[in-house]
Amino acid sequence: MTAWQNKQPEWVARLDAAVSEVFEMMLARNCSPAEIADAIAPCISARILFSGVIDGECVLFASESVARATAEALLGIPSEPGDPMAGDAIGELCNMIAGGWKSKLGSSEAGCAISPPSIAIHDSVIDLSAEEGIRRFYSFEGHVFGVHMNF
């Protein structure tokens, strides 16, 4: 059994807490776990790598409209289709969630480093149903995004 399988319930709870904290403090929105969907429409993803005591990744994926809603909430100004800030907002959201999750680990595990986010645009549906790891979906004001963590 791998480290994440042993600690999955605890790490999921920390992920939920990190997501909620980021949305309350930075976006002034409530965000809570949503029903699991296996696939998300053509979307933007951001990937953060953990290295050191913990090796793994945190991937956040959202549709373009959810990315724009995130940018609007972060910046307090409207975001139009094609806004380059939308992808950047998803990258920063992933960065803060991964960092918040890491900060909630025990001191021995928190010794891992996290990379800057890499952002990708996808033309087709992302299906993570066969992927191992922690897969969670979250909703704020009806906007749903996913977080996948693998170790």
For 108, 111, 137, the CA distances from 63, given in Å and listed in that order, are 36, 33, 13
- Contact 47/58 with Cβ under 8 angstroms? yes
| CB neighbours of residue 104 within 10 Å | 17
The span from the CA of 73 to the CA of 51, in Å, is 30
92 binds another protein, rule: CB under 8 A: yes
The span from the CA of 123 to the CA of 79, in Å, is 21
72 binds another protein, rule: CB under 8 A: no
Site string for another protein, 1-40 (x = CB under 8 A): --------------------xx-xxx--------------
69, 71, 126, 147: which one binds another protein (CB under 8 A): 71
User: Closest approach of Cβ 15 to another protein, in Å?
Assistant: 14
The footprint of another protein (CB under 8 A) covers 21-22, 24-26, 71, 74-76, 84-85, 88-89, 91-92, 95-96, 98-100, 102-103, 107, 110-111, 114-117
